[in-house]
Structures are given as C-alpha cells and as structure tokens.
Structure 1
Amino acid sequence: MKIRILLHLIACILIINTGYGQQNHSANALMGHRFLTFNTIIRVNQIEVSRDKNVGEDERALHTPEKVRQFREALEAGIPGAKMTWAFSWLALHDTTANYQQIRKLVVAYHKQYGDEITFIPGAYFSNAYNTIEQVNQDLHDGLARVTEMVGNGYRPLSIVAGFLSSKNQEYLANKEGIHVCQGNIWSQYAIDNQDGDGAVSYPFYPSKEHFCKPAQGKADFIDCVNLDGWTADFLAARREGRADGFNSRMGVGPIETLGKYGLATGLKEMLHTTAIHFDKGFELNGFGWVTNCWELSLPYPASDLTKWLQAVKTRWPDVKVITQGEFGMRWRKHYENNRFNYRFEETGSGIGGSDADKKIRWFMNDKFRLALLNDGNKEMVIDYTSYTQDAQEPASGSTRNWSLMGEINQKQTRPQDKPIPLHDLSDQAKKEIRQYYPELNL
C-alpha cells in the first residue's frame, strides 16, 4: 500500500513539473486545445500611412453600424459564445461622423456583452514601411490611451493588431505599455499588399531584438511580447512569390483569397482544408492547434458566409475555443516562458488554387531554424532553410517595404540560391543544426 501511495505521489509530481498533464485539464491551458482567434479592422481609409496621410480608398461608406451588427451576429450564429478582437485605426478612433460614433458605442457594448477585445492598429497594417520607430511608439501610446478612454473603467487590451511591427516597437509595447501580445507578423507574406515579411515562425514566438521575424536566442536578446501571425495560410500556396503562376500565395482561411476568388462552395472547402492542417495532424504533432483569421469589416462578402465557415468548424471540431487574440497569446505566454517550442506541420494539397493536390509539404520550426521539405511524388526537396542563429538586422523604418528575413534557401525562390535542393546538399552548419533537433531525418 505504501509503495502504491509513493508511486502515485511521484506521478503527480511529474505531471506538475512537466506542466503538460496539468495544463491539459485546465480551462485556461494551451495544450490539449484547439483555438480559433478572429479579428476585424475598422478604419476610415484603406491604408492610413500616418495620422494625417492616407494611401488608397476612403472606406467611410463601407463602415456602418448596421454592417457591424450583422458581422457580430454572424459570429454568434456561427459559434455561440465566441469572442473576437476589434482593431480600430487612428482615424476610426477619432472620426466625428455619426456612423463612427455609433460604431464605437456598438463595439464597446459587445465588449461588455461578449467579452470581446477592443484594441488599436497603427498605420492600418504597414506602419514601419512609412513611419519612424519613434512615431509608431507615439501612435501606439496615444492610440491605446484613446481605446481606454472609449471603453472606460481603465480598460486595457491584452494585445494589439499591427500586420507587421518591428522588434523595437514590440519591445516598447512590452516594456512601456505593459502589453505582451502583438499580431506582429504576417507569415510568409511577400510581394502582396504594401509590405513584405517572409522568414518567421507561423505559430507564436518571442521576437529577437534584432528582427521581428527572428525568435529571441537568449535572455539578452529577449522581447517579452508574443508575436502572432496575421491569418493562417495554406502552406503549399504560401511557398509562392506573391501571385506567381496565377495563384494567390496568401490563400488559406482568409476570405479574399477563398470566397472572393472561388465562391462559397470551393472557398469554404479551402478554408476548412487549411483549418484541418492545424486541428487534425497539427494538433497531433504539436499538442495544440491554432487557426487565426482577419476579416476586414469593409470586405464585400455576406456575413452569412462567415457563419457557414464557423458552423462547419464547430461541427467538425466541437471542442474548438474561439477566444480573443490577447487571451490566446497570454495562454501561450503562460505555457512558454521562453522559445522552447518545436512546431511541426504536414500538408497534402487540396487541389484548389496554389494548393497542389500532387504535392506534400513538411515544416519544422523551432527557435534555431525553420525547415520546409516539399515532396512532388518523386522525391523530397528542401525549399526553405532559415537559420535564426545568424545575425539579423531590420531595415531603417520608413525606408522600404521589404522587411523579410531570408536564410540559406527561401521558399519564395526569388534568388538564384533558392532553387530546391536535396536535404544532403545543405551547408554543413545547417545539417549540424538539423541533426540536433530532428535525427530521424538521417543527415
């Protein structure tokens, strides 16, 4: 009897110390759960370069109280009890027209009713492509203060939405504003929209002080801000440059590249295919699954399309948790105190757009490197090896659209060195790093 009691106590200690068993049974855990995070952007101009300069179209007519109501009702109809994140641009926070005043009141009411997160987006996605680090910091400070004023009772969001955000600005968020979650990279984006940022890890990580796409390599390099992807992309589609071969490299769960391109039936099929990469095999490999989507309020798709996707997700994965972006990031932060993650993903193409049905892709992502292997049915080749142990440097703010972190070989194949190669043809240093993490690859 004493031996049994002793063994039981040892087992309990092991569960507590590893954290995995304990967190699986916790309502606020990361491991053992499937998460969907969902946000929308409310803005006045398509791209608000700065507080007083715009690029693109005026979108006032596309933002109405009625559209906000329909949007929020569609989310609730899809998955009752779901929470979401609302991100307001600078102009949307300050516009004095009746529509925007009503929209702000509506969203504050949703925060109180559903627990939604309300936050700020600097520059409408691409702030560092146009502004200095100092200006972005000032925008973050003043924008967050305006959100607090709007919501009342000292409210502060747990996260911000940014599209891309430099490491220096993420460090400011953590150290000066006390915000430790940032949607700060759009995984694999290159030659799309107004800024590039390929080279990061697709799941959460703590960024390096050198570059927002690089995971921190130690305490001296560490920024306590969980860096999140913008929306989940199909890995096979994402390996392309921009719209190469006539396909959109951003295709995944986003409505523009799916519903807008292929219509509801085929678009929904692709959205569910991308979701399944993370909720089926990805969940098995990583111990949790995460899908994230940004559905801009100005988009011309019926709110009922959103409901249909969410209902399909809930039917197939009834345990899915739809929480705010900030809540998800803080769960990850609680589980991972540093970059000791090791993510793996596997996909066979859907046959839609750039998701080639005859190809398979495997991704390996950790704090030291990311590695992608593409199989065309005959052989498996390396299409990306990006080492994070090498020095990195961000460009000067406002100087360029290209903020990518390119490694030894990059999936976009924009350089002569990016031609796919056999695993054994990688550099000796690359092979050494890979052996330490994945000895099963037989290098």
Structure 2
Amino acid sequence: MNFKTILPFAFLLLISFSDAVAQGNKPKKATALMGGRFLTFNTVIRVNQIEVSRTRNVGEDERALHTPARVIAFRQAVADGFPGGKMTWSFSWLALNDTTANYREIRKLVVGYHYKYGDDVTFIPGAYFANAYNTTEQVNKDVHDALQIIGKMVGNNYRPLSIVAGFTSAPNQQYLAEKEGIHVCQGNIWSQYSIDNQDGDGSVAYPFYPSKEHFCKPAQSKKDFIDCVNLDGWSVDFLAGRREGFKDGFNSRMGVGPIETLGKYGNETGLKEMMHTTAIHFDKGFELNGFGWVTNCWELCLPYDPASLKNWLTAIRKRWPDTKLITQGEFGLLWRKHYKSNSFNYRFVERGSGIGGSDADNEISWFMNKDFRLALLKNWKNNTPEKVIDFTRYDLPAKEPKEMTRKWSLLGAINQKQSRPQDKPVSIDSISAGARAIIAARYKYLIKK
C-alpha cells in the first residue's frame, strides 16, 4: 500500500474512531422505557473506605484492595456474564487524584473501557455520605471540580450522564441539573435506616423527580420540581428492607448486593436471594409497572470472586433474555424521556424467599406514587388480614436537615422500620378518614365502604 492509498484509509479510520467516541458520550435513542427490563450496574473506586471530605477519612485504607489486576478481572466478569453490557464506574475524590502507579493505571484502564464498551465514568462525592459530613456548597464544589478532572481524563469533551452519590440533598441535585447539566443522580438508598453512616428512608424505590424540599419527596408541582432523575442505590428485598438495620439478627440491605447475600450465605444461597430480588422486578413488577428495573452497586474492593458476579449476570440473561444492561445515566434519561413529571404509579408484590429477613410466609404489597407510599403486609399462608406497615404522605411539607447529620429520613405517619411507638402495624380501616380518602383516590379497591 503506497502513501496515496494509506492517507484516505487513515482518514476513514479517524472518522470511524471519532464517530465511535461521539456515540459513547450519549445514550442510544432506539430503546424505549415501557416494555423493557433494565439492569444497571455500578462500582465504586476509592482510596479510603469513607472519604468524608477531600482531606478527612473515616474507616480503613483500601489502597491494597484496588489494583489494576482486580479492575481487569472485574470488567472481564461483566463482559463474560453479559456480553455487550455497559456499566458505570464512579471514582472518589482521592481515587481521581492519587498519583501512585496503581491508581494511574486504574484510571487509564477505566477510560479504555469507556471507549471499548461504552461504560460511563463518573464521580462519587464523599464516598456515599457527602451531606453527613459536608456543607451543600462544598458538595457542589467537589462535584464541579471532579467533573472537570474526569472530563480531561477521558478526553473528547466527555461528560458523564449521571453521578453516583449514595445520598444527595435536594439543593445538590438541583445544582447538578441546573449548573452542571446532568439530569440523573443515584441520590437515595431506598429504605436505609440504622445502618452504615447515614439514614435516608422514606422515598419511592423507582425513579422520580425530587422536590426542592427534600430529596426523598417526589416533586408536587412545577414550583418545587427538580429536573434530576433520582435513582435508588441498589435493589433490596422488600421484606428484608422493612427491618431496622440489623434488628433481630437480619440485614435490612439484603437483596442483589453481594455483602448481604454472597458474603452472608455463600455463593449458592446468596445467588438464590439475588435472583429472588431480581424476579420481584422482572416478573410481577414488570407486569404491574410496564417495565422492570434492577440496580446494583458492587464496590471494587469487596472480597468476592468475580466469577460470582458473572454467574448472576449469566443467570439473568438466561431467565430474562430481553434484559438490557445499560449505564445508570442511560436508564435515567430513558425514564426522563417517558415521564415529564411525577405521573408514575409503581406497584410491587413479593412473597418471601425464606432467606434471612425475607420471611417465606409473608407477602408485602407496595404502592408508590407522587402523593404517598403505602405498604401492606400479611401472612399469606395463614391468610391473615393485611396490615398497614408504612404510610408516608408526600403532599405534606418536608424539610431537610440544616446541620450535618446522619438523620435524613422522611418518616410518615407509619414507617416500615417500626422505630417509633406510632409505627405499630394497623388495619387500613383504622387509619384516619383523611388518609383513607387519599388512598381511595388512587386505589379505591383497598378501602372498604
């Protein structure tokens, strides 16, 4: 091949590469929300267990657990378990700025995965609990500066489609949407209470636009609307999720996460529970809601064989072959395209797996909409009457804490965790007339005349 033929060939390669890069920076438009089963999978790369600020850490140093070899094995497990799937990589502040050889190589590898697989590369402020340790202004500054670093790191005017955050206050999500132009945030951890370093129970489990009053509250009108799709952190077993932390020896976070499943019960039983939780959304949930969504965040440092990750992904593809593994940003934007406001009406029904806090004889039904969330629990084997275990109204005023604290929950008249005397389960007929009227406006069949 002479010089005259090489030049056009090289030019075509350059155009193809540029097109591929451009495609990697935005979601495909062909996929629709309704009728789809969606899986989003995130990981966290950090230096310290909880980086509460740029200069202060709480927990263990995790440098030795973050190696290029671990990153390679982790991504290969995803590629083998779900060919063609995409995931989201989130870096902490220290992981973005660490100058040691391992972290330089890790960042280089992840950038390569963006161009190879279409993975999203983003930031996690505070390594989950930013608002418990930082002011709103500092979190905004951390997000802004980190996005600048990531843009330069990935190149080609790159901008992530979302951020990972654990919990994120309403003002921070408003800043993300209005100032940074990012409209998807993993900004709540559904049902988290009395576990880890921050509480945040009270939201709905599927995507919603948050209110300016509280990140757990769906926006009620255009006036308090934040144009940022607020996503859950990882899907939990609803029956396990009603527990208060580790009460009675159970773990309220049990679901698709590896710590509470594989780590607690081993690979076989752990995978069974992960698939049980996945099925809540991909079987009955899909039927009730018109689409299904399962999300998982598997920290890179966790001491589990990547083969167990591959096994879960393979099992999902085998049982639900139409499932799409896309980045959380792509999923959030699909939801945003379909829902222009909080017009959702989510319903879920689960019978327990018999593992951990997922009682085999219990059935839980959840109803979640803009106005309220309602949970009913019964013993289906004994056919006992349903009891209300959660009723949280969203049409009432709400306030986020002004101080830095772990207490960010939005607790309604009755809360599933039963942490207060008023949270004792009751029959739906015994709640106030006003509450029954609000429920009947949406679910008339639940209220007896």
TM-score by length of 1: 0.94
Q: Is the aligned partner of 1:363 residue 2:366?
A: yes
- Of 90-99 and 389-398, more deviation after overlay is shown by 389-398
Secondary structure of 2:223's partner? Answer: helix
The alpha-carbon deviation at position 27 of structure 1 amounts to: 3.1
Q: Which residue of 1 aligns with 2:187?
A: 184
Q: Which residue of 2 aligns with 1:279?
A: 282
| Residue of structure 2 aligned with 1:206, choices 209, 214, 228 | 209
Question: CA offsets per residue over residues 86-134 of structure 1, 9 Å max, x none?
Answer: 0000000000000000000000000000000000000000000000000
Q: Give the gaps of 5 or more residues in structure 2.
A: 1-28
| Residue of structure 1 aligned with 2:147, choices 141, 144, 148 | 144
| Contact 2:234–2:295 (8 Å) recurs in 1 | yes
| Contact 1:340–1:367 (8 Å) recurs in 2 | yes
| Residue of structure 2 aligned with 1:403, choices 403, 408, 418 | 408
| Contact 1:48–1:55 (8 Å) recurs in 2 | yes
| Residue of structure 2 aligned with 1:430, choices 432, 435, 440 | 435
Q: Is the aligned partner of 1:270 residue 2:273?
A: yes
Q: Which residue of 1 aligns with 2:446?
A: 441
Q: Give the gaps of 5 or more residues in structure 1.
A: 1-25
Q: Partners of 1:427 and 1:142 in 2: how far apart?
A: 49
Q: Which residue of 2 aligns with 1:316?
A: 319
| Contact 1:128–1:397 (8 Å) recurs in 2 | no
After the TM superposition, which residues 37-116 of structure 1 pair with which residues of structure 2 at under 5 Å, given as runs? 37-116=40-119
| Contact 2:54–2:93 (8 Å) recurs in 1 | yes
The number of equivalent residue pairs is 417
Question: CA offsets per residue over residues 239-270 of structure 1, 9 Å max, x none?
Answer: 01000110000000000000000000000000
Q: Partners of 1:243 and 1:205 in 2: how far apart?
A: 28
Q: Partners of 2:58 and 2:335 in 1: how far apart?
A: 35
Q: What amino acid is the match of 1:247? A: F
Q: Partners of 2:147 and 2:31 in 1: how far apart?
A: 26
After the TM superposition, which residues 295-306 of structure 1 pair with which residues of structure 2 at under 5 Å, given as runs? 295-306=298-309
Q: Which residue of 2 aligns with 1:126?
A: 129
Q: Partners of 1:82 and 1:397 in 2: how far apart?
A: 41
Q: Which residue of 2 aligns with 1:379?
A: 385
Q: Which residue of 2 aligns with 1:226?
A: 229
Q: What amino acid is the match of 1:269? A: K
Q: CA RMSD in A?
A: 0.7
Q: Is the aligned partner of 1:391 residue 2:394?
A: no
Q: What amino acid is the match of 2:331? A: F
Q: Which residue of 2 aligns with 1:170?
A: 173
Q: Partners of 1:147 and 1:432 in 2: how far apart?
A: 50
Q: Which residue of 2 aligns with 1:338?
A: 341
| Contact 2:46–2:91 (8 Å) recurs in 1 | yes
Q: Partners of 1:412 and 1:163 in 2: how far apart?
A: 20
Q: Partners of 1:369 and 1:279 in 2: how far apart?
A: 24
The alpha-carbon deviation at position 397 of structure 1 amounts to: 4.2
Secondary structure of 2:300's partner? Answer: coil
Question: CA offsets per residue over residues 262-310 of structure 1, 9 Å max, x none?
Answer: 0000000000000000000000000000000000000000000000001
Secondary structure of 2:57's partner? Answer: strand
Q: Is the aligned partner of 1:161 residue 2:129?
A: no
| Contact 1:87–1:118 (8 Å) recurs in 2 | yes
Secondary structure of 1:220's partner? Answer: coil
Q: Which residue of 2 aligns with 1:246?
A: 249
| Contact 1:75–1:82 (8 Å) recurs in 2 | yes
| Contact 2:130–2:167 (8 Å) recurs in 1 | yes
Q: Partners of 2:298 and 2:243 in 1: how far apart?
A: 22
Q: Which residue of 2 aligns with 1:19?
A: none
| Contact 1:42–1:86 (8 Å) recurs in 2 | yes
Q: Which residue of 2 aligns with 1:413?
A: 418
The alpha-carbon deviation at position 74 of structure 1 amounts to: 0.1
Q: Which residue of 2 aligns with 1:20?
A: none
- Which consecutive segments of 4 or more residues in structure 1 shift more than 3 A? none
Q: Partners of 2:204 and 2:447 in 1: how far apart?
A: 24
Q: Partners of 1:102 and 1:425 in 2: how far apart?
A: 61
Q: What amino acid is the match of 2:54? A: R
Secondary structure of 1:173's partner? Answer: helix
